[in-house]
Amino acid sequence: MPAVIILGAQWGDEGKGKATDQLGTRAEYVVKYNGGNNAGHTVVVDGEKFALHLLPSGILSETCTPVIGNGVVVDLGVLFEEINDLESRGVDTSKLRISANAHVITSYGRSFDGLSEKALGNAKIGTTGRGIGPTYSDKAARLGIRIQDLFHPEELDRKVRAALAQKNPLLSAFDEPTVVADDVVADLLSYAERVRPMVCDVTLELNDALDEHKTVVFEGGQSTMLDIDHGTYPYVTSSNATSGGACTGSGVGPTRIDRVVGVMKAYVTRVGEGPFPTELLDEQGEWLRQTGGEFGVTTGRPRRCGWYDAPVARYAARVNGLTDIVLTKLDVLSGLEQIPVCVAYDVDGVRVDEVPAAQVDFQKATPIYEYVPGWDEDITSATSFEELPEAARSYVHYLEQVSKCRISSIGVGAEREKTIVIRDLLD
Ligand code: GDP
Ligand code: IMO
Ligand code: MG
């Protein structure tokens, strides 16, 4: 099974890093295809915790080549900080490849992220403040700076000046100091020689690898409900986190993809603003947050917590063409007498079975729950499905049925090996 996409199927932080790392130990390539250092992917190996932001989780596997695809936005300062940190912890990062077409996050990209949030006031998105939105905006507006520009100083200078001709008047309008083109160019050029050996034709390398039947895992950042097209717009990130993004963000065609795996928590969390029908604003939400350790890897913000949302799961299955679900954090739910599962919504007194197409309706949606019996046992040592208590097995079967997609793996702890594999995702 050579080409597998791993992506978020809720609102992010589902455990994509752990799922990718597991496959990474058996893959030749792990490719990050969207987003940037807004992501925070946690991997725990031999008791040691790694929080990866810009680097693909495959970097922790010695046999795997990690790749940053063209769909990613790269903050070069963060890239080398992460590389230095991993190298100091004994991780070999020398195989990292970066697409020449990936865009870079500039200092003014970061500034505009904060300024836009401030200007939005109460309608703010709650971004990670990393300059993600403005960098993708510049890409779409054809004002972006790409990795390949670092090797052509005159071209770089011209592009930075063209961008600043539009940015500086805006900065002045915000009463902010304007940006000096020479400073931006000098900053970007300071990374050029270090990044040069990593740059390659990612599309060619990945397609060649697939021709040779090598295993390529695509690691999504963010999530389906944060996708710029399919998420809860405008409360989304600025890239395609869904399965199509793996193709456009790496230059590998859809006909080459064998499996699309959606990672879902056994409940739901969200960071930042925007609709979240099953959100718990009471002590149950606080219990989930504390028991699940639900605090952001990137910003440290407390995550909003709520019960499993089956219409969202079905929606994710649809827009991504999911073949499998990796269900994570089942262990967190031990000790509940019964577990609510949202099966439909109430919108203005009318039962709605699927995620409404109109955001005004989704914002008003309240959950209609069914209740599944819980279990008391600690399940963190379970290594097979049969070892789980009957109620936990029934909960998994129930989620499978209401989500309309098979569950192929279950997480029972943060460590790499705390996973019950029902079906091998690389088979
Ligand atoms: P990602 O952004 O999708 O990679 O997820 P994050 O790393 O932001 O958040 C997931 C958190 O859950 C991390 O702290 C992981 O170590 C942890 N985690 C992943 N899978 C499991 C699991 O099955 N059980 C428990 N208890 N923790 C898990
Ligand atoms: P991983 O890959 C959870 C959210 C932010 C905000 C919105 C837009 O770890 O799952 P941005 O900075 O991207 O412009 O912010 O998206 N967000 C995430 N939430 N996990 C993430 O990444 C996220 N990346 C962005 O909180 O609501
Ligand atoms: Mg995360």
Residue nearest to atom 25 of ligand 1 (CA): 413
The answer on 131 and 76 residing in a single domain is: no
**Distance between CA atoms of 292 and 268, rounded to whole angstroms?**
11
**Distance between CA atoms of 264 and 303, rounded to whole angstroms?**
15
The total of structural domains in the chain comes to 3
CATH of the domain at 39: 3.40.440.10
Ligand nearest to the CA of 299: 2
Atom of ligand 1 nearest to the CA of 41: 4
CA of 76 to the centre of ligand 3 (A): 20
The answer on 34 and 85 residing in a single domain is: yes
| Sequential DSSP letters for 236-280 | S-SS--SHHHHHHTTT--GGG--EEEEEEESSEEE-SSS--TTB-
The answer on 164 and 274 residing in a single domain is: no
Pocket test residue of 32, 225, 291, 328 for ligand 1, highest count of atoms within 8 A of CB: 328
Residue 427 in domain: no
Report how far apart the first and last C-alpha atoms of the chain are (Å, whole number): 5
pLDDT at res. 211: 96
The yes-or-no answer on residue 213 being catalytic is no
Residue 376 in domain: yes
The yes-or-no answer on residue 41 being catalytic is yes
- Last residue in a domain, options 142, 175, 193: 193
The answer on 253 and 296 residing in a single domain is: no
CA of 425 to the centre of ligand 3 (A): 21
Pocket test residue of 236, 271, 273, 279 for ligand 2, highest count of atoms within 8 A of CB: 271
pLDDT at res. 427: 86
Residue nearest to atom 28 of ligand 1 (CA): 414
Regions in the chain scoring below 50 on pLDDT: none
Report residue 319: phi and psi, to 5°: -70, -20
- Last residue in a domain, options 134, 163, 193: 193
Task: Please pick, among 13, 138, 227, 309, the residue that the annotation labels catalytic.
Answer: 13
Query: Which range marks the domain in which residue 187 is found?
Result: 103-193
CA of 266 to the centre of ligand 3 (A): 16
pLDDT at res. 1: 61
pTM listed for this prediction: 0.97
Residue nearest to atom 3 of ligand 2 (CA): 12
- Last residue in a domain, options 148, 165, 193: 193
The answer on 223 and 178 residing in a single domain is: no
Give the number of other CB atoms < 10 A from CB of residue 302. 15
